[in-house]
């Protein structure tokens, strides 16, 4: 009996040593999975308790020491743990160990689970396969796990001597791929050979919507798949898409590689290859994409795109686009060749990286007509942008008391209609925080003296105005002007009778310039004189000041209902009237008489000029001004009973968010002293929908030539005021969730320019003017989100709630300043999306210009999620940007080159 126990222990040790689970060569044909033997034929069947676990300590498994007393390596390097739900048996005649029902063996980083595991001591083979349940279904299939690699075959054979394996109908996941093979031979940890294998990005490898079938495969987990003859199947139907051999990367890391171009035909440039190039995975922080386009008429384009990110430091993107466009053929009268470019750079710094300094960049500059004439336009809405702007800034804060802030900015503004480009290279701003020189060291500041405070601000600019043609040439600096301005504002505030707040302020400015302009009259030879300007180089300066005061208070009006069952229980009206006074003295000392070149007065009328006319901050004022401003701010709120009768607390709502009335009276003027009465109001309509209203009311009348005269309109036989201008605007978003109760909504956050191509190109955050299309995968940029969890189509094919959203923007402007009595601007823009099913959505945007009586920019988009595939169609049916784009392709990034797209680009306007 003692000898029998030793034999059993040694059998377990040697048999379980084969659980290293390394692959093997194909075994001899005589080797097969043994059938289950009847229980009565077994010599011995020691029954173990259910779910008992056997643990073997490797420290105790040592052979006898040799004579030199050196220790030998243990038979097992790790602790082996085995378990089974029903039983474990040892067959001494066949020299096997059997684990049955939820059998499991763990050895190091290797785990083997199956319905039944048999270890054969004689041959060194380990067999693992499933079992058939009472319903006749093959269940508990083997699951082999080593590290992050998981294989799920129907059955598996190991050999502890060769350390190789053979699996049947195995399924394994590698990155975005699922691989299923009829027979898999595991040579070692890093090489597998497969026979009749399919690989797909479909989430269900047993019933994929598409797959690639390869007769022979060499599979290196986590690195690559190399195949022989391979062809593509869609819904188990073979397609003519095939290759004699293929290579598929399997790594989860970014890898450099070729980007396959798309092809097609353009009516203007001929056949083309577009968006082909190379992707460089430089390192973990930055990448680089180089793309190009070529047309058979000689037109070509190139693009360089790069994204970079360093966690907790900064992130950004850079894009440079250049196109050489050729219209018609050389030698024809309509032949034209144009070069256009665009530079886009977005950089954002993490606020936590350095709280005292910050660098940011938002650059969008280039040819004014680039977005309107590009033959590879991914952003149709960019054609509606009339202004390109850029800003690169660096700010530094020097903490302390007082605090000093310094900011330098390089900015650019470009009008795409007029081709005018304005630059500041650079702008320097510095400021010293507010200082209270007379405030007590302890306690609150009270009264006029304690609240006296002053600041210091510095602003310097080098401003350049040029045109699109002269931009980035030496001519752009011809009209450059520069200067510095020092500003010291002083203010204080105090209360009168505890109800009125009084503020006093004064401002001192000193402007430095480095060029001034001398003007004189020159005889034009025809009895008249022309004004001539000469530039005078050298430092010069002028100093100005102004002062003012204000007084205001707050008046509350409350009303409470005596009926507790009334819908409205209380109303509060808050009114904040204010009166302000401001004065700007005359600085005649900076003005001179306009004379001829010899200093003689040759003009019939007295004319003056300032040598600071045309400088950076313009000339100081020559006319004394003194005005009194009157304003009233109003808000109206109410407390109402909630519709839910179970809620006893009153709900606060806003009836009028704001209603402001402003006007002013010119104390120094000799006529037309009153300015038009300005009305501004914001009225809530529904939840987050606000109606913005504004109007101007003029108290003065018009003469027969429609010019303002110094006579009140009511004295001229009219009304008290003339409505000269009025406007109305609202912009809101509606969705199906707005009409559902108790829906948790996330706070709306502004879009990130790094992720939104519309914002990068100067467009809107919403899609009222259309969305940018990514030709790489056929999606709009606002749809590029993390992949959602799979949806069971059968369970959600019919549903009662259909997600939808609508964006509205309405603008109206009425003008009657000179008896026009016309609505010169009135338009309505609408955009939206409807999710007809969990994988089918339809959307678009359109609008109507009521003033010009025409349909505005209109696009339609259709998207179909085919689980592993994506189908999209974007169409601009009318207008000069008439175009369409169709795309169908695999969603997986690893197979993104397997796609088909067709497009019609808008005709370029030369």
Locate tokens 């598929």: which residue? 248
Span 630-657, mean pLDDT?
Answer: 88
Report which secondary-structure segment, H or E, holds 580. strand 568-584
Distance CA 7, CA 28 (A): 28
pLDDT, position 109: 77
* Dihedral angle computed from the Cα positions of residues 598, 603, 608 and 611, in that order, rounded to the nearest 10 degrees: -30
Question: How does residue 19 score in pLDDT terms, banded at 50, 70 and 90?
Answer: very low
Distances (CA, A) of 63 to 3, 14, 75, 121, 245: 17, 13, 9, 19, 52
Tell which wins on pLDDT, 484 or 253: 484
Tell which wins on pLDDT, 69 or 684: 684
- Give me the phi and psi of 148, to 5 degrees please: -95, -5
pLDDT at 343 over 70: yes
Task: Give the lowest-confidence range in 66-70, 112-116, 178-182, 664-668.
Answer: 66-70
Q: Chain-centre distance of CA 786, in angstroms? A: 13
Distance CA 825, CA 779 (A): 34
Distance CA 117, CA 105 (A): 9
Tell which wins on pLDDT, 745 or 400: 400
Span 843-851, mean pLDDT?
Answer: 90
Question: How does residue 134 score in pLDDT terms, banded at 50, 70 and 90?
Answer: confident
Span 855-874, mean pLDDT?
Answer: 88
Helices (H), 333-398: 370-373
Please name which of 180, 203, 171 lies closest in space to residue 788, comparing C-alpha atoms. 203
pLDDT at 753 over 60: no
Of the segments 347-356, 367-376, 729-738, 743-752, which one has the largest average pLDDT value? 347-356
Of the segments 687-701, 752-766, 872-886, which one has the largest average pLDDT value? 687-701
Average per-residue pLDDT for the chain:
81
- Give me the phi and psi of 590, to 5 degrees please: -100, 15
Distance CA 536, CA 522 (A): 18
Other Cβ atoms within 10 Å of 117 Cβ, number: 25
Please name which of 276, 364, 357 lies closest in space to residue 318, comparing C-alpha atoms. 364
272-285 in b/e form (b: 16+ CB < 10 A) is bbbbbbebbeeeee
Span 98-103, mean pLDDT?
Answer: 90
- DSSP secondary structure string for all residues of 58-125: GGG--PPP-TT-PPPPPS-SS-EEEE-SSEEEEETTTTEEEEEEEEEEEETTEEEEEEEEEEETTT-E
Report which secondary-structure segment, H or E, holds 3. helix 2-16
Question: How does residue 355 score in pLDDT terms, banded at 50, 70 and 90?
Answer: confident
Span 283-294, mean pLDDT?
Answer: 92
The length of the chain in residues reads 910
227-265 in b/e form (b: 16+ CB < 10 A) is beebebbeeeeeeeeeeeebebebeeeeeeeebebbeee
Locate tokens 């300032």: which residue? 610
* Residue-wise pLDDT tens digits, 192-211: 888 888 888 888 888 888 89
Tell which wins on pLDDT, 795 or 589: 589
Span 797-816, mean pLDDT?
Answer: 83
pLDDT, position 756: 58
Distance CA 176, CA 193 (A): 20
With pLDDT > 90 as the criterion, what percentage of the chain qualifies?
34
pLDDT at 633 over 90: yes
Question: How does residue 673 score in pLDDT terms, banded at 50, 70 and 90?
Answer: very high
Span 557-579, mean pLDDT?
Answer: 91
Task: Give the lowest-confidence range in 76-85, 91-100, 593-602, 893-902.
Answer: 76-85
Report which secondary-structure segment, H or E, holds 686. strand 677-686
Distance CA 100, CA 114 (A): 8
Span 412-438, mean pLDDT?
Answer: 91
Report the greatest alpha carbon distance in the chain.
Answer: 139
Tell which wins on pLDDT, 53 or 600: 600
pLDDT, position 624: 93
Q: Which residues contact 142 (CB under 8 A, 6 or more apart)?
A: 112, 113, 114, 128, 129, 130, 152, 153, 154, 155, 156, 167
pLDDT at 324 over 50: yes
Strand partners, 837: 840
* Residue-wise pLDDT tens digits, 432-463: 999 999 998 888 888 899 999 999 999 999 99
pLDDT, position 767: 60
Distance CA 241, CA 238 (A): 8
Q: Which residues contact 287 (CB under 8 A, 6 or more apart)?
A: 254, 279, 280, 281, 306, 307, 308
Distance CA 855, CA 829 (A): 10
pLDDT, position 53: 41
- DSSP secondary structure string for all residues of 470-516: TTTSGGGGTT-EEEEEEEEEEEEEEEETTTEEEEEEEEEEEEEEEEE
Q: Which two tokens stand for residue 105?
A: 């063996």
pLDDT, position 765: 60
Distance CA 886, CA 11 (A): 66
Q: Chain-centre distance of CA 511, in angstroms? A: 42
Task: Give the lowest-confidence range in 107-111, 714-718, 740-744.
Answer: 740-744
* Cβ contact 770:857 at 8 Å: yes
pLDDT, position 605: 75
* Cβ contact 357:395 at 8 Å: yes
Question: How does residue 884 score in pLDDT terms, banded at 50, 70 and 90?
Answer: confident
pLDDT at 734 over 70: yes
Other Cβ atoms within 10 Å of 202 Cβ, number: 20
Determine if the peptide bond prior to 402 is cis (ω within 30°): yes
pLDDT at 807 over 80: yes
Span 506-513, mean pLDDT?
Answer: 96
pLDDT, position 146: 77
pLDDT at 339 over 70: yes
pLDDT at 887 over 50: yes
What is the SS3 string spanning 810-837? Answer: EEEEEECCCCCCEEEEEEEEEEEEEEEE
* Residue-wise pLDDT tens digits, 220-270: 877 888 888 888 898 888 888 888 888 877 766 777 888 888 887 776 778
Tell which wins on pLDDT, 71 or 194: 194
pLDDT, position 838: 81
pTM, 2 dp: 0.69
pLDDT at 657 over 90: yes
Locate tokens 């602790």: which residue? 79
* Cβ contact 355:343 at 8 Å: no
- Give me the phi and psi of 18, to 5 degrees please: -75, 0
pLDDT at 583 over 90: yes
């Amino acid at each position: 009996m003692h000898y029998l126990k030793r034999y059993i222990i040694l059998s377990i040790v040697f048999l379980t040593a084969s659980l290293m689970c390394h692959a093997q060569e194909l075994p001899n044909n005589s080797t097969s999975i043994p059938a289950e033997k009847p229980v009565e034929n077994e010599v011995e069947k020691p029954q173990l308790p259910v779910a008992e676990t056997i643990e073997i300590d490797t420290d105790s498994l040592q052979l006898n020491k040799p004579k030199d007393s050196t220790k030998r390596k243990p038979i097992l390097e790790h602790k082996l743990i085995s378990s089974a739900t029903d039983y474990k048996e040892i067959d001494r005649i066949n020299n096997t160990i059997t684990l049955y029902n939820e059998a499991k063996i763990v050895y190091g980083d290797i785990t083997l689970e199956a319905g039944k595991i048999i270890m054969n001591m004689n041959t060194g083979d380990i067999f693992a396969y499933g079992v058939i349940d009472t319903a006749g279904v093959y269940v508990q299939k083997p699951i082999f796990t080593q590290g992050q690699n998981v294989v799920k075959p129907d059955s598996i054979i190991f050999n502890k001597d060769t350390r190789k394996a053979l699996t049947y109908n195995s399924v394994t996941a590698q990155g975005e791929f699922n691989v299923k093979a009829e027979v898999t031979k595991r040579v070692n940890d890093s090489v597998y050979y497969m026979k009749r294998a399919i690989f797909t990005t479909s989430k269900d490898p047993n019933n994929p919507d598409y797959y690639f079938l390869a007769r022979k495969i060499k599979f290196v987990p986590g690195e690559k798949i190399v195949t022989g003859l391979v062809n593509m199947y869609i819904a188990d139907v073979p397609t003519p898409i095939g290759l004699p051999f293929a290579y598929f990367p399997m790594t989860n890391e970014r890898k450099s590689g070729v980007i396959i171009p798309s092809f097609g035909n353009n009516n203007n440039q001929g056949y083309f290859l577009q968006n082909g190039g190379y992707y460089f995975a430089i390192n973990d922080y930055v990448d680089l994409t180089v793309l190009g386009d070529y047309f058979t008429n000689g037109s070509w384009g190139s693009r360089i795109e790069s994204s970079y990110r360093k966690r907790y430091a900064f992130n950004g993107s850079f894009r440079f686009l250049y196109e050489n466009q050729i219209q018609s053929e050389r030698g024809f009268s309509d032949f034209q060749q144009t070069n256009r470019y665009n530079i886009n750079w977005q950089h954002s710094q993490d606020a936590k990286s350095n709280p005292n300094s910050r660098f940011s960049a938002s650059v969008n500059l280039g040819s004014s007509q680039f977005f309107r004439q590009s033959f590879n336009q991914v952003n149709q809405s960019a054609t509606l942008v009339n202004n390109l702007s850029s800003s690169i800034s660096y700010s530094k804060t020097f903490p302390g008391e007082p605090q000093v802030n310094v900011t330098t900015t390089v900015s650019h503004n470009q009008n795409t209609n007029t081709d005018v480009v304005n630059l500041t290279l650079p702008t320097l701003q510095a400021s010293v925080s507010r200082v209270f020189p007379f405030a007590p060291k302890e306690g609150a500041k009270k009264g006029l003296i304690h609240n006296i405070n002053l600041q210091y601000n510095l602003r310097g600019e080098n401003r350049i105005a040029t045109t699109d043609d002269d931009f980035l040439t030496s001519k752009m600096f011809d009209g450059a002007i520069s200067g510095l301005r020092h500003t010291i504002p002083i203010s204080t505030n105090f209360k009168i009778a505890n109800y009125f707040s009084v503020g006093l302020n004064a401002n001192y400015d000193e402007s430095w310039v480095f060029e001034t302009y001398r003007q004189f009259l020159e005889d034009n030879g025809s009895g008249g004189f022309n004004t001539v300007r000469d530039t005078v180089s050298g430092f010069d300066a002028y100093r100005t000041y102004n002062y003012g005061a204000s007084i205001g208070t707050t008046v509350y009006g409350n009303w409470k209902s005596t009926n507790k069952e009334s819908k409205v229980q209380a109303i509060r009206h808050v009114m904040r009237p204010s009166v302000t006074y401001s004065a700007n003295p005359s600085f005649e000392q900076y003005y001179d008489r306009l004379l001829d070149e010899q200093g003689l007065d040759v003009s019939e009328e007295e004319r003056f000029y300032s040598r600071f006319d045309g400088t950076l901050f313009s000339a100081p004022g020559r006319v004394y001004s003194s005005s009194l401003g009157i304003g009233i701010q109003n808000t109206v709120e109410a407390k109402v009973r909630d519709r839910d009768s179970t809620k006893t607390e009153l709900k606060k709502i806003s009836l009028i968010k704001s209603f402001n009335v402003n006007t002013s009276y010119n104390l120094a003027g000799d006529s037309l002293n009153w300015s038009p009465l300005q009305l501004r109001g914001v009225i809530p309509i529904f939840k987050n929908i606000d109606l913005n209203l504004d109007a101007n009311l003029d108290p003065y009348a018009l003469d027969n030539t429609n010019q303002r005269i110094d006579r009140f309109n009511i004295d001229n036989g009219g009304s008290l005021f003339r409505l000269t201008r009025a406007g109305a605007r609202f912009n809101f978003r509606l969705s199906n969730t707005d009409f559902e109760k108790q829906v948790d909504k996330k706070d709306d956050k502004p879009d990130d320019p790094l992720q939104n191509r519309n914002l990068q190109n100067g467009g809107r955050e919403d899609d009222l003017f259309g969305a940018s299309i990514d030709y790489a995968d056929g999606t709009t940029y606002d749809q590029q989100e993390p992949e959602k969890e799979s949806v069971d189509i059968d369970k959600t094919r019919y549903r009662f709630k259909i997600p939808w959203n609508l964006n509205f923007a309405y603008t109206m402007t009425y003008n009657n300043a000179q008896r026009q009595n016309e609505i010169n601007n009135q338009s309505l823009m609408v955009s939206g999306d409807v999710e007809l099913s969990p994988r089918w959505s339809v959307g678009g945007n359109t609008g109507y210009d009521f003033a010009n009586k025409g349909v505005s920019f209109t696009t339609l988009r259709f998207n179909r999620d085919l689980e592993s595939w994506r189908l999209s169609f974007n169409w601009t049916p009318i207008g000069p940007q008439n175009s369409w784009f169709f795309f169908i392709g695999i969603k997986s990034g690893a197979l993104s080159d397997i796609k088909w797209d067709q497009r019609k680009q808008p005709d370029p306007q030369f």
